[in-house]
């Protein structure tokens, strides 16, 4: 049997990893500034993380949501403390798309309404509801397209209010910073306005922090730069440093009803021990602060070049937008300089390194990047 060939892959077989470094099967060392789509938050193979997972698997590796799992409560407690959302509740699932599905479903239960507003260039995942919330017709199938979703321009409060005023909108969903759509930052005034409009019209404000969350931008969640609170926050990717895990934070205004949401694997023992280890390491090593400082340093060191149109992002979520295609630059970084970077579209290099990236490692990238540009 062959694999269903849907992924564009780096032509590298990793066999070992540590911190921001990866080694392949030929012994070549790479600097990882992509973290496998932003899933490596505390660094590869962190000893505390490996210990937490191995200790756990030696006790009880997996059990479904049919018994009390104290690790879920421990995670909820820690997460409430570090995120500033102590009075919210936590529902655990397995991925970013599933988190967004659950968020929109919950908003729909809560309001009794069935339409959602999302934004141009959004990406919310690949499951039926999540892909319908995503502004990319190429990945929406006829089955997905039956969901009632309206796309507004990022920044257009008037357009959003026009849609909300019809009274049938359950939820407005927005990324803390748009990732796959090209590192687009909603302004603080837009987020503040959006929050006010949602309150005024009785719609639920969902902040998708799957990519921009958990310290990546230098605050725990990217929307906290705007000083607003969301009704539901969705999470995934780095929350368990690569172990599949997702979740949503839910405002106290929502009432839990038995059976309303559910999953077999969500919140399992291994995912929980991984997620708790991530928060412990993030706190101990001050990784949110590190993301802010190293991110700012990295952005400031990007050389000016006529081909670079814009450099934007926050913390360690950075987009380098070119006015030319970046395929050859990305290939050269990977094959000549042995540095993993990501892309957004055809003109943007997207950097999503582990949050433990050091200034020296950022400097290593800058030197290599200058040589590639030259
Ligand atoms: N939301 C955002 C903002 C994302 O960037 C992604 C993945 O890239 C998702 C949701 C979907 O997450 P997953 O691939 O874990 O389903």
String of DSSP letters for 111-134: H---EEEEETT----SSHHHHHTS
Question: Residues 182, 345: contact at Cβ < 8 Å?
Answer: yes
Give me the pLDDT at residue 63, please.
75
Distance in Å, CA 237 to ligand 1 centroid:
7
Question: What distance in Å separates the CA atoms of residue 46 and residue 209, rounded to the nearest whole number?
Answer: 23
Give me the pLDDT at residue 145, please.
85
Of 6, 36, 40, 97, best ligand 1 pocket probe by most atoms within 8 Å of the beta carbon:
97
> How do residues 329-359 score in pLDDT, each as one tens digit?
999 999 999 999 999 999 999 999 999 999 9
The verdict on the CB of residue 180 being under 6 Å from ligand 1 is yes
Question: What distance in Å separates the CA atoms of residue 327 and residue 339, rounded to the nearest whole number?
Answer: 14
Cross-strand partners of 117: 150, 172
Mean pLDDT of the chain: 97
Give me the pLDDT at residue 70, please.
95
Give me the pLDDT at residue 67, please.
86
Give me the pLDDT at residue 276, please.
98
For the chain, what are the domain ranges? Answer: 14-46+286-373, 48-284
Which of 346, 352, 336, 369 minimizes the C-alpha distance to 30?
336
Distance in Å, CA 71 to ligand 1 centroid:
24
C-alpha dist (Å) from residue 102 to 60, 116, 270, 326: 27, 13, 22, 36
Max Cα–Cα distance, the chain, nearest Å: 61
Give me the pLDDT at residue 74, please.
98
Global confidence as pTM: 0.98
Phi and psi dihedrals of 198, rounded to 5? Answer: -60, -45
> How do residues 218-259 score in pLDDT, each as one tens digit?
999 999 999 999 999 999 999 999 999 999 999 999 999 999
Distance in Å, CA 26 to ligand 1 centroid:
31
- For 357, the token pair is 């990236």
Question: What distance in Å separates the CA atoms of residue 44 and residue 28, rounded to the nearest whole number?
Answer: 16
Give me the pLDDT at residue 165, please.
98
Rounded-to-5 percentages of helix, strand, coil across the chain? 40, 20, 40
Average pLDDT over residues 189-199: 98
Atom of ligand 1 nearest to the CA of 98: 16
Query: What strand order describes the sheet that includes 308-314?
Result: 308-314, 317-322, 348-351, 342-344
Question: What distance in Å separates the CA atoms of residue 315 and residue 282, rounded to the nearest whole number?
Answer: 15
Give me the pLDDT at residue 65, please.
80
C-alpha dist (Å) from residue 321 to 70, 291, 305, 310, 346: 45, 21, 11, 5, 9
pLDDT band at residue 199, thresholds of 50, 70 and 90?
very high
pLDDT(64) > 80: no
pLDDT(60) > 90: no
Residue with the smallest CA separation from ligand 1 atom 12 is 96
300 Cβ contact list (under 8 Å, min separation 6): none
Task: Decide if 14-46+286-373 and 48-284 have a common fold.
Answer: no
Atom of ligand 1 nearest to the CA of 237: 15
The verdict on the CB of residue 314 being under 6 Å from ligand 1 is no
Of 41, 100, 124, best ligand 1 pocket probe by most atoms within 8 Å of the beta carbon:
124
183 Cβ contact list (under 8 Å, min separation 6): 177, 312, 313, 317, 318, 319, 321, 344, 348, 350
As its CATH architecture, domain 48-284 has 3-Layer(aba) Sandwich (3.40)
Distance in Å, CA 374 to ligand 1 centroid:
34
Specify burial of residue 3 (Cβ count, 10 A radius: 0-12, 13-18, 19+): exposed
CATH fold of 14-46+286-373, please?
3.90.1150
- CA pseudo-torsion sign 26, 29, 34, 39: positive
Which of 159, 161, 229 minimizes the C-alpha distance to 192?
229
Phi and psi dihedrals of 219, rounded to 5? Answer: -125, 165
Average pLDDT over residues 178-192: 98
Atom of ligand 1 nearest to the CA of 95: 15
The verdict on the CB of residue 361 being under 6 Å from ligand 1 is no
pLDDT band at residue 61, thresholds of 50, 70 and 90?
confident
Average pLDDT over residues 64-78: 92
- For 67, the token pair is 């018994």
Average pLDDT over residues 35-53: 97
pLDDT(35) > 90: yes
> How do residues 115-159 score in pLDDT, each as one tens digit?
999 999 999 999 999 999 999 999 999 998 889 999 999 999 999
The rounded Cα 23 to chain-centroid distance in angstroms is 25
């Amino acid at each position: 049997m062959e694999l269903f060939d849907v992924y564009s892959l780096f032509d590298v077989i990793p066999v070992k990893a540590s911190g921001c470094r990866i080694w392949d099967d030929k012994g070549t060392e790479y600097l990882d500034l992509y973290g496998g789509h932003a899933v490596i938050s505390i660094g590869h193979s962190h000893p505390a993380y490996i210990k937490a997972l191995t200790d756990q698997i030696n006790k009880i590796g997996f059990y479904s949501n049919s018994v009390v799992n104290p690790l879920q409560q421990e995670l909820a407690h820690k997460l409430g403390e570090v995120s500033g959302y102590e009075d919210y509740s936590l529902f655990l699932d397995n991925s970013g798309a599933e988190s967004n599905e659950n968020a929109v479903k919950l908003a729909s239960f809560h309001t009794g309404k069935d339409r959602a507003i999302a934004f141009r260039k959004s990406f919310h995942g690949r499951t039926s509801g999540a892909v319908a919330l995503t502004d990319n017709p190429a990945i929406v199938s006829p089955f997905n397209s039956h969901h009632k979703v309206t796309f507004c321009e990022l920044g257009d409060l008037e357009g959003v209010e026009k849609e909300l005023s019809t009274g049938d909108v359950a939820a407005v969903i927005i990324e803390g910073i748009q990732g796959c759509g090209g590192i687009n930052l909603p302004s603080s005034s837009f987020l503040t306005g959006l929050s006010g409009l949602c309150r005024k019209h009785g719609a639920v404000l969902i902040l998708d922090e799957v990519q921009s969350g958990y310290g990546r931008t230098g605050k725990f969640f990217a929307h906290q730069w705007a000083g607003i609170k969301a009704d539901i926050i969705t999470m995934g990717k780095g929350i368990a440093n690569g172990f599949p895990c997702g979740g949503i934070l839910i405002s106290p205004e929502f009432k839990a009803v038995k059976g309303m949401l559910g999953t077999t694997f969500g919140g399992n023992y291994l995912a929980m021990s991984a997620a708790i280890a991530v928060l412990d390491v993030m706190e101990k090593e001050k990784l949110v602060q590190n993301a802010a400082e190293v991110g700012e340093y990295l952005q400031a060191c990007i050389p000016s070049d006529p081909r670079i149109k814009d450099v934007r992002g926050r913390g360690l979520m950075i987009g380098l937008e070119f006015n030319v295609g970046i395929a050859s630059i990305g290939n050269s970084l990977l094959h000549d300089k042995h540095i993993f970077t990501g892309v957004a579209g055809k003109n943007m290099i997207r950097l999503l390194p582990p949050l433990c990236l050091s200034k020296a490692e950022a400097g290593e990238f800058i030197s290599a990047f200058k040589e590639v540009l030259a």
